Amino acid sequence: MTEQTERSVAEARASAQPPAPPAPPPEPPAPSAEALAPPAELPLPASADLPLTPPRTAPLRPHPVPPPLTEPRPLGEPRTWPRDFTDRLTAPLPGVRALARIAREGKLRPVPESLREIQELPFEPGPMPQAGPTTLALTWAGHASWVIRIGGLTVLTDPVWSRKILGTPPRVTPVGVRWEDLPSVDAVVISHNHYDHLDAPTLKRLPRHTPLLLPAGLAPWARRRGFTQVTDLDWWEAVELPAPGGTVRFDFVPAHHWSKRTLFDTCRTLWGGWMLTAPDGRRLHFAGDTGYGHWFEEIARRYPGIDAALLPIGAYDPRWILRPVHTDPEEAVRACQDLGARVLVPMHWSTFLLSAERPMEPLHRVRTAWTATGRPREDLWDLAVGASRVLPER
């Protein structure tokens, strides 16, 4: 039981004890610690056939005042980091036996007969919406790459405009936004250093003065490539960028994942997601790459009132090896509930075939899981690659 829950139990018991008048009527027993304790975490769903956590119509536990946000750090600040971040892992990385099993079974790609579904993958490129200082708009370029218009800024997330990345087949849908159609890019946020999220050929297209916001330990990588405005952050740290509409805040938040780019740098740099806060307070959570776990509720506690959550729904099969690092569609819906986000925006599917599920399966499953919650259908933004949506002003 947490310290806060113990205090809640003690206060509840104290308040349950009445004054001592003569011959008082019998009082009902004080609630037990078990009754006041937070509910146990539900087991993770293993397939689309398992029931999803029902929507929470009433608070299940006390909601304390969120801790104050950290003071923004200086842009471009030189930092000294630990040699590695292995202690941040929330699950052990696969060992030799697991890798040998994957090699033996050969189940990291869809079965050939399912590849006909590639023709059904939604691809609807269109002009990006007009964006002013008060606009918060999303355009999906594919995979985890988004063009976000916020506070008058244009922000790219994990930009991958390459046709092929190291270790994977070529992309199965074109990039949703032509590079030449992009507005001037004001900032780039990177979730971690895996090749499908940190694409050097794409970053080389940017002016070297473009601000790069990175996980801890990645700044040297960017500076070696000539970028001059580079900031790397630890979890729960933030920076602010001036914008025509005011100030846009970028907080680096935890994720259930890992990092590796060469044979010798496992977990040498950090991994995570980003919370973008517009000048008017609207919040957008970009999860990057993540498995399901406790961090979502902690993010919700620190950043209440999330308007939209961009969550991965693909690259999840086989579950026995990918569960710790990639949410499946049902877990993404549950994570959206944990975050308290109004809108779920699925991503990390329909672009690169990184695992064994059928190409269209993530979309079918996330729609089914969302319907099971009873939440409004219009709050599931299951966009086609190239499509855009604008978040209404508060």
Q: How many CB atoms lie within 10 A of CB 103?
A: 9
Q: Residues 374-380: what's their mean pLDDT?
A: 98
| Of 243, 352, 366, 351, nearest in space to 309 by CA | 366
Report which secondary-structure segment, H or E, holds 242: strand 238-243
Q: How many domains does the chain have?
A: 1
| Of 31, 32, 30, 37, nearest in space to 61 by CA | 37
In-domain check, residue 117: no
Q: What is the pLDDT of residues 324-338, one digit of tens each?
A: 999 999 999 999 999
DSSP state of 184: P
Q: Residues 171-183: what's their mean pLDDT?
A: 98
Phi-psi region of 25 (alpha: psi -120 to 50; beta: other; left: phi over 0): beta
Mean of the per-residue pLDDT values for the chain? 88
CATH number at residue 308: 3.60.15.10
In-domain check, residue 323: yes
Q: Residues 217-229: what's their mean pLDDT?
A: 98
Confidence of residue 2 (pLDDT cuts 50, 70, 90): very low
The pLDDT value recorded for residue 63 is 53
Q: Let me know if 266 is exposed, middle or buried by CB neighbors in 10 A (0-12, 13-18, 19+).
A: middle
Give yes or no for residue 29 having a pLDDT over 50: no
In-domain check, residue 74: no
In-domain check, residue 310: yes
Instruction: Please tell me the distance from the alpha carbon of residue 153 to that of residue 182, in angstroms, as a whole number.
Output: 12
Domain that holds residue 380: 130-390
Length of the chain (residues): 394
The pLDDT value recorded for residue 107 is 84
The pLDDT value recorded for residue 167 is 84
The pLDDT value recorded for residue 25 is 44
- Three-state secondary-structure class, residue 176: coil
Give yes or no for residue 287 having a pLDDT over 80: yes
In this structure, the strands spanning 238-243 and 246-253 are antiparallel
Instruction: Please tell me the distance from the alpha carbon of residue 329 to that of residue 323, in angstroms, as a whole number.
Output: 11
The pLDDT value recorded for residue 114 is 96
Q: What is the pLDDT of residues 48-106, one digit of tens each?
A: 333 344 444 434 444 567 889 999 999 999 999 999 999 999 999 999 999 899 889 88
Q: What is the pLDDT of residues 150-165, one digit of tens each?
A: 999 999 999 999 999 9
The pLDDT value recorded for residue 176 is 98
The pLDDT value recorded for residue 7 is 41
| Of 55, 142, 68, 146, nearest in space to 391 by CA | 146
Instruction: Please tell me the distance from the alpha carbon of residue 320 to that of residue 111, in angstroms, as a whole number.
Output: 18
Instruction: Please tell me the distance from the alpha carbon of residue 251 to that of residue 61, in angstroms, as a whole number.
Output: 26
Instruction: Please tell me the distance from the alpha carbon of residue 354 to that of residue 171, in angstroms, as a whole number.
Output: 10
The pLDDT value recorded for residue 347 is 98
In-domain check, residue 244: yes
